[in-house]
Structure 1
Amino acid sequence: MSATTIPDKIKKLLLIKSGGRCQYRGCNISLYQDLLTKRNFNAAYFAHIVADSPGGPRGDKIKSPLLAKELSNIMLLCDSHHRLIDKIEVQKHSETLLLEMKKEHEERIDRITAINPNSQSHIVTYKANVGEHTPILKYENLVEYLLPEHYPAESKTIDLGLTDSPLRDKDEQFWQTELKVLEDNFNQRLNDLIRKQSITHISLFAFAPMPLLIKLGTYVNDIQNIEVFQPIRNPKTWKLSNKTITEKYHITAPTNKYKTVALNISLSATINNDRITSILGDECSIYTVSIDKPFNDYLQSKSQLQDFSVIIRQLFNEIKKNYLAKTKLHIFPAMPIATAIELGRVWMPKADMPLTIYDQNKTFDGFIETIEIC
């Protein structure tokens, strides 16, 4: 137990600098609200880094009396981590390590509280099963990616997907069910807020089969103030870089004009045209969007996504000049999540050709027709 009475002024300053949360690295729990009951109470401990007596944890004959009442030497901790550093694993918690934890925590709180109050953003999530994979999109795991440009408007997400769905993309009811859920949830949970201007900015996180992502993009169209996040494998993050990366998108136009027209999007992988003609027939005009080296993690920056948005908008215009407005454009996508959403966002329902979207499905050994957008 501390032999020193810490001044109230120091305690108040520490509470402010810590945000009232445990400063132990990776903890961050609120010390003034129970996580389960949400009831308010004080569970905070003011812990010395260098003990206030030479015989205490990390104590020192010279430092202990000098630092006993110094803000720089006191951490705010929960009961568990207070006991951990002072009783259970004292040797593993050096003065240097604890100072690093304190510094990291207080700098993070400072960054968050310095955000402009007009920079709030609603976190919108959408997920659907991809093959046997069930994506997990939790508020606690996503909120960090808003910083420092935005902060969450609510301590929860607006979820547009179907929770704990047993359906897989090989099931006959999958596409119809997911489309209905997406439409209903968008109208009930998001669209009214947009119309009432209760939402000024959206941070969108999604993980679903490509056709559903494209459909999602048509709902959150290019009129909305929105940032689309992209899961990146290396380095592992959801946040596209602000660094300018110039991506050279290649457009390959067909040499013959047939009544049937398709768009091959080979960005995350290469789609050979014979995979398309095996479905649509040989008399098919195929436009292709590709990059030099397609792979699933090519999209790293916001500039690459913006360049894609421009090029796909221009390509839609180019294709519809050569075909009747009612002609279906068959879309075969191999593309990152954010680009699929962006394709849906730039598509204009009153001006562009209707879309028929295909999805690669291992169960059926190739692409299958899934949904129509018109």
Structure 2
Amino acid sequence: MSVTSIDNKNKFMLWAISGGRCQYRGCNKILHTDILTKRNFNQSYIAHIVADVAGGPRGCATRSPLLADDITNLMLLCDTHHRLIDRDDVIGNPEVLLLEMKAEHENRIANSSNISADKQSHIVTLNANIGVHTPNVQYSIISQSLLPDYYPAVAANIDLGTVNTLNKDSDPNFWNFELSNLQQRFDRLLFPLLNSGDIKHISLFGFAPIPLLIKLGVLLNDITSVDVRQKRRNPDTWKFDDDINTIYNFSTARDVKTQVALKIELSDNIADERITRVLGDDISIYSISIDHPSNDFVKSRKQIIDFGEKMKEAFREIKKIHGQEVLLNIFPAMPISLAIQLGRVWMPKADVSMKIFDQNYALGGFSEALEIKHL
């Protein structure tokens, strides 16, 4: 047990730099409000990393008296983790580990506090069944990825999708159901806030079939300030790296024919035969590709922005060659963030209408999902 009376100055300083939360790694419990009754009272304990007496946890005959009232040696903890480090698992919580926890926590609080008021961002999510998988993009996870660039404007996400439904993307009415649901939730939950100016910035997290993500991008367009996020597998994160250059190749069709298709070969290559099997041979096939297709290559915002510019180039070239009234059949193999960006850069008055196809093994290949018409 501590025998030192901590100076009030250090107590107040510790509360400030910890944000009034438990500093034990992974806890982050608020120490001034009861989670059930919501009553305000002090639940904190101030623990010594190096005990203030030589015989205490992690104590030292020389250093204990020197660090007894030193802010660098103090941690703000909840009751559970105070007892854990001082009584139940002293060996499992050595000095070096506790110092790491303290530094991590205080750096996180400092980074959060340093964000200016104009960096508020509303978190918008779209979840929908992908084959047999039912994704669920959780607020508790994605909200952490905003820092230090932005911080959540409210402590909840605006979800435009549905999860755990019985609808599968191989069902005949799947697309009609999902499109109707997306439009209704967008009109009810998001559009009024955008229209009123209550939302200045959106952090967008999608985990849904590619055609739905393209449609969501169309709904948001390029007027709204949106930070489109990409789920990465390795490492498992929604955070971005610094700017990365990716060369997107736009290949034109060999012949001008009645129908037009655009292959987007970013996650995988798409053989022309897979398109002619659906639409026949009377078709001009264009392509946007990268040298080494991968479903995990998007790691920076620049890659998303650059793809949008390449899509604009493709839209302009196809319209110039085939005219405004042509229907562009899109066959996508692409990451989720780029699908949203495709929809965002498409201009309803300037660009051609699109028919989006979806790869579905249960249906034997590419099948029509939805159509997006120009004005």
Question: Is the contact made by 2:121 and 2:203 (CA closer than 8 Å) also made in structure 1?
Answer: yes
2:71 is aligned to 71
Deviation at 1:324, TM superposition (A): 3.6
Deviation at 1:226, TM superposition (A): 0.9
Q: How many percent identity over aligned positions? A: 51
How far, CA to CA, are the matches of 1:347 and 1:360 in structure 2? Answer: 22
1:11 is aligned to 11
How far, CA to CA, are the matches of 1:63 and 1:122 in structure 2? Answer: 48
Deviation at 1:356, TM superposition (A): 0.7
Q: Deviations over 1:43-86 (max 9, x none)?
A: 21111111122221112222222222221111001111111101
Q: Deviations over 1:235-280 (max 9, x none)?
A: 222123232x322222221121111111111011001010000000
How far, CA to CA, are the matches of 1:284 and 1:39 in structure 2? Answer: 68
Deviation at 1:105, TM superposition (A): 0.9
1:25 equivalent to 2:28? Answer no
1:361 is aligned to 360
RMSD: 1.3
Deviation at 1:97, TM superposition (A): 1.5
1:307 equivalent to 2:311? Answer no
2:284 is aligned to 285
Q: Deviations over 1:303-346 (max 9, x none)?
A: 22111111110110111122242321111000011110000001
- Report SS of the residue matched to 1:118: helix
Q: Deviations over 1:81-107 (max 9, x none)?
A: 111101111112111211111111111
Q: Deviations over 1:119-172 (max 9, x none)?
A: 111111111010111112111101121111111111111111124322111122
Question: Is the contact made by 2:129 and 2:164 (CA closer than 8 Å) also made in structure 1?
Answer: no
- Report SS of the residue matched to 2:80: helix
| Ranges in structure 1 where 5+ consecutive residues have no aligned partner | none
Deviation at 1:36, TM superposition (A): 4.7
- Report SS of the residue matched to 1:355: strand
When normalised by structure 2's length, the TM-score is 0.96
1:249 is aligned to 248
Q: Which amino acid in the other structure matches residue 71 of structure 2?
A: L
How far, CA to CA, are the matches of 2:118 and 2:212 in structure 1? Answer: 32
How far, CA to CA, are the matches of 1:167 and 1:41 in structure 2? Answer: 48
Q: Which amino acid in the other structure matches residue 272 of structure 1?
A: A
Q: Which amino acid in the other structure matches residue 371 of structure 2?
A: E
- Report SS of the residue matched to 1:322: helix
| Ranges in structure 2 where 5+ consecutive residues have no aligned partner | none
Q: Which amino acid in the other structure matches residue 41 of structure 2?
A: F
Q: Which amino acid in the other structure matches residue 59 of structure 2?
A: G
- Report SS of the residue matched to 1:370: strand
Q: Which amino acid in the other structure matches residue 340 of structure 1?
A: A
Deviation at 1:34, TM superposition (A): 3.3
Q: Which amino acid in the other structure matches residue 372 of structure 1?
A: E
When normalised by structure 1's length, the TM-score is 0.96
How far, CA to CA, are the matches of 1:51 and 1:357 in structure 2? Answer: 65
Aligned pairs for 1:150-229 within 5 A: 150-229=150-229
- Report SS of the residue matched to 1:240: coil
How far, CA to CA, are the matches of 1:271 and 1:64 in structure 2? Answer: 67
1:268 is aligned to 267
Question: Is the contact made by 2:136 and 2:163 (CA closer than 8 Å) also made in structure 1?
Answer: no
How far, CA to CA, are the matches of 1:74 and 1:196 in structure 2? Answer: 47
How far, CA to CA, are the matches of 1:362 and 1:138 in structure 2? Answer: 28
Stretch of structure 1 that moved more, 59-68 or 364-373:
59-68
- Report SS of the residue matched to 2:118: coil
How far, CA to CA, are the matches of 1:37 and 1:314 in structure 2? Answer: 58
- Report SS of the residue matched to 2:221: coil
1:92 is aligned to 92
Q: Which amino acid in the other structure matches residue 30 of structure 1?
A: I
